[in-house]
Amino acid sequence: MRILVVEDEPELNRLLTKRLKSAGYSVDSCVDGRDALDHLPGAEYDALVLDIMLPGISGLEVLRRMRSASNTTPVLLLTARDSIEDRVIGLDAGADDYLVKPFAFDELLARLRVLLRRKSGAVSDVITIADLVVDCAGRTVERAGRPVTLSSKEFAVLEYLARNSGVVLSREKISRHIWNYDYEGGSNVVDVYIRYLRKKLDEGFEPKLIHTVRGAGYVLRVDA
C-alpha cells in the first residue's frame, strides 16, 4: 500500500520512510504542509502519516483542506502534545487516528493496518480467496496449504489485488499505488510483476486466480 509521510523533523522523516519501506509499503515523503498538498493530487494514497506542527501550512490545515476537497484518505496524526483538547481538535478536523510522540514503530504499523482494514471494509488482516491465503500483517502467502515465497514488491502487488478482489485494476492504478515518485524503471513493470505472481500462485494450481481483462487491467477473483 502507498503511504505519504509528512514530517518536518528530518531524522524522524528519514526513519519513518525507511522503516515503512522495509515493512513493504511504497512511501513518498515531504517536510511541510505545502509540499503535502502538492503531493496529494498526483497519487492515490492509502494513508497519510501527518505531523500536526509543520512549517508554513500546519498539519491540521492540510487535513481540513483535504476533507473540504472530499479527500477521504485515512490520516494518522502525529503530535508531541498529549492533551485531550489537542486530540479532540485533530479528530474533529477529520483525522482517523492520533499518535503521540515518542511512539513505538510497531504501534504505528498496527494503527496503519487498522486504517487500511477500515478503508477496504475488511475485518481481518488475513484475506482468503479460494485456496489462496494472504496474511497482510504477517506478510505470508499460502496456496492450497503450501507456503509461497514472494519478494517485497510481489507481495505489495498481491496485497493490493487481494484487498480489491473482484475489482478490475488498471496498470496505471496498480503502478500508482505500488511504486513511488522515485521509481525510474520500465513502463511494463506491472506486467512483469503480474507474470511473476502468476508463475508462483497460478502455475500448477486450479482455479486460476489472476485474470487479465483486455483493455482494462488485472483482477484477482475466482471465475465461475
Write out pLDDT tens, residues 137-190.
Answer: 888 999 999 999 999 889 989 999 998 899 999 998 888 788 765 555 556 889
Taking the whole predicted model, whether its pTM rises above 0.85 is answered as no
Residue ranges of the alpha helices (H) in the chain? 10-22, 33-39, 59-68, 84-92, 105-120, 152-163, 171-178, 189-201
The residue with greater pLDDT, 185 or 205, is 205
All residues at 6 or more sequence positions from 15 whose CB lies less than 8 Å from its CB, including other chains: none
Taking the C-alpha atoms of residue 41 and residue 91, their distance in angstroms, rounded to an integer, is: 23
- Pairing mode, strands 97-100 and 75-79: parallel
C-alpha cell at 131: 485456496
Taking the C-alpha atoms of residue 189 and residue 50, their distance in angstroms, rounded to an integer, is: 30
C-alpha cell at 140: 505470508
User: What is the per-residue pLDDT across 8-53, written as a single tens digit (0 to 9) for each?
Assistant: 999 999 999 999 988 888 899 999 999 999 999 878 888 999 999 8
Residue 190's φ and ψ, nearest 5 degrees, are -65, -45
pLDDT band at 77 (very low <50, low <70, confident <90, very high): very high
In a 3-state reduction of DSSP, which class is residue 150?
Answer: coil
**Edge-to-edge strands of the sheet including 97-100?**
26-30, 2-6, 47-51, 75-79, 97-100
What's residue 224's pLDDT?
A: 57
The dihedral through the CA atoms of 146, 151, 156, 157 has a sign that is negative
Taking the C-alpha atoms of residue 51 and residue 211, their distance in angstroms, rounded to an integer, is: 40
